[in-house]
């Protein structure tokens, strides 16, 4: 009989990066029935892991309960009380997770951590003389961590629709589905990833020529205000911003025909629910390894300007000062890509 084993997994942020761990964790547990996983991350991401057998989600608030150096020591103490771990998998490799994994290493636990390929990514994003070639996908980098711990993970890279149905609370916002539904996540953390809002509005306007419904997703108060304005202006648009909880958003995403997203969390949430994505890329590039799990390169919309990618995460200032990589993308091109799914 195989001896039960318990792995502690660390990944604190960001939303998209945490979402990308889910297919790996599912495959790990499916392929290793003797394993249990405790996944440590922020409270807002709990719904990503709902219903996964033998997974314990340990939610940590790093801004209050576990803030600073003393907070990480406190977290280490609480995690040790939570269970006896066979090994520690660090899928983040930041200052906090380095401290945690080294504390566990000192207590005799084997540890492995992600290789983010920083040097390769510098070559990909430098200008001039960039080395424009596909790098290892982030999800494969996650899988490599478990391989180092002697738990190889085989990934199918197939979109899989999750079972589920719209609840009355969701239907009160969406109405019943009687025509194609398109989701749009117009926002991202950094300007280098955001399709200009005036062009996104043009996309939304053009979609009004077809018998379909558009649902807008976002998270901030500013997102909410912009989406409210579009909702008021266009009869085929419904804003879900700050109306649905994360779990409800995932259920709605499950019912979409397609999602339009930046290189952002929206793409990865759609992958969790088996929904295809038309993704718009500006300063970043899918060669850096962040294309959504199961998503097709054929559905990428991007300009071929020579300076892109200039950033791995979209947080660097634009070389040209004008974000031409995004402004050069025609709204008609985006709409054409979406209509393939309608």
Q: Do 5-148 and 168-339 come out as alike in CATH topology?
A: yes
Mean pLDDT value across residues 74-101:
97
Q: What is the pLDDT of residues 214-240, one digit of tens each?
A: 999 999 999 999 999 999 999 999 999
Q: Determine the pLDDT at residue 293.
A: 98
d(CA 168, CA 37): 33
Topology given in CATH for the domain delimited by 5-148: Rossmann fold (3.40.50)
d(CA 329, CA 333): 7
Q: What is the pLDDT of residues 234-275, one digit of tens each?
A: 999 999 999 999 999 999 999 999 999 999 999 999 999 999
Q: What is the pLDDT of residues 301-327, one digit of tens each?
A: 999 999 999 999 999 999 899 999 999
pLDDT surpassing 80 at residue 163? no
Q: Confidence band (pLDDT; 50, 70, 90) for 3?
A: confident
Q: Confidence band (pLDDT; 50, 70, 90) for 282?
A: very high
Find out whether 50 and 129 touch, Cβ atoms under 8 Å. Answer: no
Q: What is the pLDDT of residues 114-152, one digit of tens each?
A: 999 999 999 999 999 999 999 999 999 999 999 999 999
Q: Per DSSP, which regions of the chain are E strands?
A: 5-10, 35-41, 55-59, 87-90, 111-113, 181-185, 213-216, 237-239, 258-262, 277-281, 300-302
Measured CA to CA in angstroms, residue 10 lies from 64, 71, 99, 194 at distances of 18, 15, 11, 29
pLDDT surpassing 60 at residue 108? yes
Mean pLDDT value across residues 283-304:
98
Q: Determine the pLDDT at residue 162.
A: 78
Crossing angle of helices 221-233 and 197-207, in 10° steps, is 40
d(CA 253, CA 270): 6
d(CA 154, CA 298): 23
pLDDT surpassing 90 at residue 153? yes
Considering all CA atoms of the chain, what is the largest pairwise distance in Å, rounded to the nearest integer?
64
Topology given in CATH for the domain delimited by 168-339: Rossmann fold (3.40.50)
Q: Determine the pLDDT at residue 4.
A: 87
Look-up of token digits 């976002």: 218
Q: What does the domain layout of the chain look like in residue ranges?
A: 5-148, 168-339
165 vs 37, more confident: 37
Q: Confidence band (pLDDT; 50, 70, 90) for 54?
A: very high
Q: Determine the pLDDT at residue 165.
A: 87
Q: Confidence band (pLDDT; 50, 70, 90) for 280?
A: very high
Mean pLDDT, all residues of the chain = 97
Q: Determine the pLDDT at residue 226.
A: 98
């Amino acid at each position: 009989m195989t001896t039960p084993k318990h792995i502690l997994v660390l990944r604190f942020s960001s939303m998209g990066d945490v979402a990308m761990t889910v297919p790996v964790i599912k495959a790990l547990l499916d392929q290793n029935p003797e394993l249990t996983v405790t996944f440590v991350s922020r409270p807002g991401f709990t719904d990503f892991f709902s219903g996964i057998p033998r997974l314990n989600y340990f939610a940590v608030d790093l801004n209050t309960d576990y803030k600073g150096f003393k907070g990480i020591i406190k977290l280490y103490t609480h995690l040790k009380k939570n269970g006896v771990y066979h090994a520690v998998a660090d899928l983040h490799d930041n200052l906090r997770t380095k401290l945690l994994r080294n504390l566990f290493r000192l207590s005799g636990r084997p540890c492995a951590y992600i290789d983010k390929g920083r040097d390769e990514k510098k070559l990909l994003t430098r200008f001039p003389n960039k080395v424009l070639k596909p790098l290892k996908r982030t999800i494969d980098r996650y899988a490599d961590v478990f391989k180092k711990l002697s738990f190889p993970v085989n990934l199918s890279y197939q979109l899989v629709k999750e079972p589920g149905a719209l609840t009355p609370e969701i239907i009160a916002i969406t109405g019943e589905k009687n025509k194609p539904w398109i989701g749009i996540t117009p926002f991202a953390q950094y300007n280098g990833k955001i399709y200009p809002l005036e062009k996104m509005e043009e996309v939304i306007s053009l979609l009004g020529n077809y018998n379909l419904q558009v649902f807008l997703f976002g998270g901030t108060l500013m997102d909410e205000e912009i989406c409210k304005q579009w909702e008021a202006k266009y009869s085929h648009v419904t804003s879900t911003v700050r109306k649905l909880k994360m779990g409800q958003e995932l259920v709605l995403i499950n019912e979409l025909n397609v999602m339009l997203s930046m290189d952002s969390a929206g793409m990865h949430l759609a992958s969790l629910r088996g929904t295809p994505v038309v993704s718009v890329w500006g300063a970043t590039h899918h060669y850096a390894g962040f294309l959504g799990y199961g998503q097709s390169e054929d559905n990428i919309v991007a300009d071929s300007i020579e300076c892109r990618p200039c950033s791995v995460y979209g947080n660097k200032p634009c070389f040209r000062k004008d974000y031409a990589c995004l402004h050069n993308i025609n709204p008609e091109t985006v709409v054409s890509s979406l209509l393939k799914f309608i």
